[in-house]
């Protein structure tokens, strides 16, 4: 008969530790990694490497959608193709007309900037990216795009769609980047009312269709339907991009500030193609903006 002590040692070292012991080791290791990641940035390289390794997974995850679009295109008839071609030509003519108008405005604007000795460029350079992933965490509003460090993407760059500001890059790996959306509860954008230039801070509410405009006095000239654009204060976001539209204003008796709700202009849950904005080099090294940053003195 094998003694009980020898049997226990043989079980641990030959057959491996019991499942409960392995689970305890995993929990302790996870807690240690979380603590180390929260106290230092030394694990950012490891996180970036993991994101780079996951790039093929994002690519394969988009394959069914790409294949479906390609398969549907095989069975389009001639009339549908001609109709789409006519629509595209019409859009092209409209865009060309607008381009001519914008070219004249740009020329006039450049002349004004030269007269004012302004060193800023007329337009920000952009790059087109595609959404290839969405964060599964319901409390974190993030998307993954297929542009990364190899495309010149850096942390802090603004991301837009065709309608307005979507968010900013918070992590960039070699081939992909994570974008924190304006609806996230930790996100903040310095904005101004397009109608009168009133400045305020727009915070994410944690809901995809609602943003909160804070610290607005009850005497401020603000109305439902007002459009909020990025003010450019702090150098975190380029100025002049649409961010949200005022949808609700609630004035409580005796309160110095009003409660204001706004709807994001960007289609946060629908847009597939996005624009990543390259700001002037003097502002590209800024850290991403957050509510805590603005509370420390970066309020308008």
Place of tokens 């193609």: 273
Is the Cβ–Cβ distance between 120 and 113 less than 8 Å? yes
Task: Summarize pLDDT for 251-270 with one digit per residue, the tens.
Answer: 888 888 999 999 999 999 88
CA 193 to chain centre: 22
Please tell me the distance from the alpha carbon of residue 178 to that of residue 51, in angstroms, as a whole number: 9
Reference 154, options 131, 132, 130, 178; nearest CA is 178
Which of the four pLDDT bands, split at 50, 70 and 90, describes residue 297?
A: very low
Place of tokens 């609700």: 248
Reference 203, options 295, 86, 274; nearest CA is 295
Please tell me the distance from the alpha carbon of residue 169 to that of residue 157, in angstroms, as a whole number: 5
> Which pTM value belongs to this model?
0.62
**CATH number of the 125-300 domain:** 2.40.10.340
Which residues contact residue 135 at a Cβ distance below 8 angstroms, ignoring those fewer than 6 apart? 141, 142, 143, 144, 178
CB burial readout 76-100, b (16+ within 10 A) else e: eeeeeeeeeeeeeeeeeeeeeeeee
How many CB atoms lie under 10 A from the CB of residue 127? 15
Reference 193, options 244, 268, 124; nearest CA is 244
Please tell me the distance from the alpha carbon of residue 182 to that of residue 36, in angstroms, as a whole number: 28
Integer distance in angstroms from the first to the last C-alpha of the chain?
81
pLDDT at 124 over 70: no
Q: Distance of CA 11 to CAs 8, 15, 18, Å?
A: 5, 5, 9
Task: Summarize pLDDT for 218-248 with one digit per residue, the tens.
Answer: 889 999 999 999 988 877 788 888 999 999 9
pLDDT at 74: 67
pLDDT at 244: 95
Phi, psi for 213 (deg, rounded to 5): -95, 120
Token pair of 230 as six digits:
């990025």
Q: Can you give the residue ranges of every domain in the chain?
A: 4-40, 125-300
Task: Summarize pLDDT for 25-65 with one digit per residue, the tens.
Answer: 888 888 887 777 777 776 677 777 777 777 777 777 777 77
Which residues contact residue 51 at a Cβ distance below 8 angstroms, ignoring those fewer than 6 apart? 148, 171, 173, 174, 176, 178
Please tell me the distance from the alpha carbon of residue 66 to that of residue 92, in angstroms, as a whole number: 25
Is the Cβ–Cβ distance between 289 and 168 less than 8 Å? yes
Query: Does residue 164 or residue 122 have the better pLDDT?
Result: 164
* Bridge partners, residue 202, by sequence: 189, 213
Task: Please tell me whether residue 181 adopts helix, strand or coil conformation.
Answer: strand
pLDDT at 89 over 70: yes
């Amino acid at each position: 008969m094998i003694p009980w002590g020898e049997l226990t040692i043989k079980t641990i070292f030959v057959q491996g530790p019991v499942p409960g012991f392995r689970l305890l080791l995993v929990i302790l290791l996870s807690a240690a990694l979380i603590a180390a990641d929260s106290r230092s940035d030394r694990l950012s390289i490891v996180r970036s490497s993991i994101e780079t390794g996951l790039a093929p997974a994002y690519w394969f995850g988009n394959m069914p959608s790409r294949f479906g679009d390609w398969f549907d295109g095989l069975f389009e008839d001639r009339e549908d193709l001609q109709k789409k071609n006519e629509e595209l030509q019409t859009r092209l003519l409209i865009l060309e007309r607008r381009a001519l108008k914008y070219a004249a405005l740009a020329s006039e604007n450049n002349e004004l900037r030269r007269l004012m000795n302004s060193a800023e460029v007329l337009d920000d350079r952009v790059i087109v990216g595609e959404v290839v992933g969405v964060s599964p965490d319901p409390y974190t509003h993030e998307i993954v795009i297929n542009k990364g460090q190899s495309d010149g993407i850096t942390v802090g760059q603004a991301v837009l769609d065709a309608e307005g500001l979507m968010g900013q890059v918070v992590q960039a790996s070699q081939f992909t980047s994570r974008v924190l959306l304006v609806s996230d509860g930790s996100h903040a954008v310095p904005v101004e009312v397009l109608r009168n230039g009133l400045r305020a801070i727009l915070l994410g509410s944690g809901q995809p269709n609602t943003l909160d405009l804070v610290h607005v006095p009850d005497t401020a000239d603000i109305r439902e339907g007002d459009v909020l654009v990025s003010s450019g204060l702090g150098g975190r976001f380029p100025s002049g991009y649409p961010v949200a539209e005022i949808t609700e204003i609630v004035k409580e008796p005796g309160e110095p500030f009003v409660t204001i709700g706004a709807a994001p202009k960007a289609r946060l849950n629908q847009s597939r193609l996005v624009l990543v904005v390259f700001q002037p080099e003097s502002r590209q090294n800024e850290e991403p903006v957050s509510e805590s940053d603005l509370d420390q003195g970066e309020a308008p």
